[in-house]
Amino acid sequence: MSVFWQKKKKSGIKVLAHVKSNFNEIYVTQNGSEREMWFRKKNDFFLQSRININELDALILVYSKMMVAALLLQPAPGRILMLGLGGCVVSNFLARLYPHAVIDVVEIDSRVIDIAKDFFYLKETPNYTVHNNDGRRFVQDALGKKPYDLIYLDAFKSGSVPFHLKTIQFYKDLARILSPKGVVGSNLYGKSNTLKHNDWKTFSEQFKRVYCFEDYDSVATVLFATDRDETWTMSDFEHAAKNFHLPLTFSLIDTAATYHVGKYENDHGSVFEDNFPRGQLGRTIEKNNLDDTQNHSYPIKNRS
């Protein structure tokens, strides 16, 4: 057991669940009113979600507030797609905020879905559905159907992101299921992700406008992409935050202030391309979703 985990146990943190699936080794822990989901890869632990069981409307992790900043660009989404469930913090938040919106969440790991129901208050409704599927497969099946106003990319596993969810070919399909004024939001993790300049380059190759939000400590980075012609400035984001009409548990104005003009734009990034032969998407999806390889095309290091 890692020194990191030994320290957490000594601090009085309770382990509520420990589950091994085909894709992840999952821990659910609790410290007072705070409950967390962790993925383990060997002796490294990767935080996925955190909630306050006494304040379920609260968004605790910095990245989750930034993901909600997509509402500055799209304040009235009728259809929302999320790839990656985790502890369903953002999807639950949006389901409460927009009870009449259609929310589809895609999660490859059925055990993550079970844990979200048992420990993180996931309650599906006719409008709020979790699909046990791979994100790219779901997007391909959605081609030609009713488009989405918001699409969130938040599919992580311990130590990496499935690379087939990072390429220009995948983003082309995303653009085809996005409404004309729609927004794609991508969680790029924190300091330990050294590939953000490549993410920017890949998004900018497909979408007309890309915006970067990052907190001052670089704990979290989120990109938003859209095919709108107009370019938003900091004053546009601030104006949208001041005029947002729905009640929130945090300051959208403060979140708008984390917009970084041109962040990563001038870095010398490379476009992520599919790294498999034509006709082998299915085999690649299966390989990428399993966490059994030493080297990953999109690695994420433990930041704790």
- Across the chain, mean pLDDT equals 93
Query: Could you tell me if 67 and 213 lie in one domain?
Result: yes
What pLDDT sits at residue 157?
87
Overall number of domains in the chain: 2
Task: Measure the CA–CA gap between 301 and 304, rounded to whole angstroms.
Answer: 9
Query: Could you tell me if 161 and 87 lie in one domain?
Result: yes
User: How does DSSP classify residue 164?
Assistant: G
Is 299 contained in some domain?
no
Question: In which band, very low, low, confident or very high, does the pLDDT at 2 lie, cut at 50, 70 and 90?
Answer: low
Q: Are strands 34-41 and 128-132 parallel, antiparallel or unpaired?
A: unpaired
The phi, psi pair for 227, rounded to 5°, reads -100, 20
Is 294 contained in some domain?
no
216 against 1, higher pLDDT: 216
Is 267 contained in some domain?
no
Nearest to 214 by CA among 262, 271, 272: 262
Query: Could you tell me if 24 and 98 lie in one domain?
Result: no
Query: Could you tell me if 33 and 163 lie in one domain?
Result: no
pLDDT at 303 over 70: no
Which region holds residue 75: left if phi is over 0, alpha if psi is between -120 and 50, else beta?
alpha
pLDDT at 7 over 60: no
Query: Could you tell me if 44 and 188 lie in one domain?
Result: no
Query: Could you tell me if 71 and 164 lie in one domain?
Result: yes
Query: Could you tell me if 182 and 204 lie in one domain?
Result: yes
Query: Could you tell me if 69 and 159 lie in one domain?
Result: yes
Question: In which band, very low, low, confident or very high, does the pLDDT at 294 lie, cut at 50, 70 and 90?
Answer: low
How does pLDDT run across 97-141, given as a tens digit for each residue? 999 999 999 999 999 999 999 999 999 999 999 999 999 999 999
CA angle 64, 68, 74 (to 5 degrees): 160
Is 15 contained in some domain?
yes
Query: Could you tell me if 97 and 20 lie in one domain?
Result: no
Q: What mean pLDDT is predicted for residues 234-263?
A: 96
Question: In which band, very low, low, confident or very high, does the pLDDT at 6 lie, cut at 50, 70 and 90?
Answer: low
Is 20 contained in some domain?
yes
Query: Mind spelling out the 3-state secondary structure of 108-150?
Result: CCHHHHHHHHHHCCCCCCCCEEEEECCHHHHHHHHCCCCCEEE
How does pLDDT run across 18-56, given as a tens digit for each residue? 999 999 999 999 999 999 999 998 888 999 999 999 999
What pLDDT sits at residue 114?
98
pLDDT at 302 over 80: no
pLDDT at 4 over 60: no
Is 302 contained in some domain?
no
What pLDDT sits at residue 205?
97
What pLDDT sits at residue 266?
81
149: which residues sit within 8 A by CB, 6+ positions away?
Answer: 74, 76, 77, 78, 79, 80, 178, 179, 181, 182, 183
Q: What is the CATH number of the domain that holds 146?
A: 3.40.50.150
Q: Is 210 helix (H, G, I), strand (E, B) or coil?
A: strand
The residue range of the domain holding 101 is 62-260
Is 280 contained in some domain?
no
pLDDT at 291 over 80: no
Quick one: what percent of the chain has pLDDT higher than 70?
94
Query: Could you tell me if 21 and 80 lie in one domain?
Result: no
Question: In which band, very low, low, confident or very high, does the pLDDT at 5 lie, cut at 50, 70 and 90?
Answer: low
Q: pTM for the full model? A: 0.95
Query: Could you tell me if 26 and 75 lie in one domain?
Result: no
Is 122 contained in some domain?
yes
What pLDDT sits at residue 13?
93
Q: What mean pLDDT is predicted for residues 173-200?
A: 95
Task: Measure the CA–CA gap between 200 and 6, rounded to whole angstroms.
Answer: 37
pLDDT at 304 over 50: no
What pLDDT sits at residue 292?
62
Query: Could you tell me if 43 and 109 lie in one domain?
Result: no
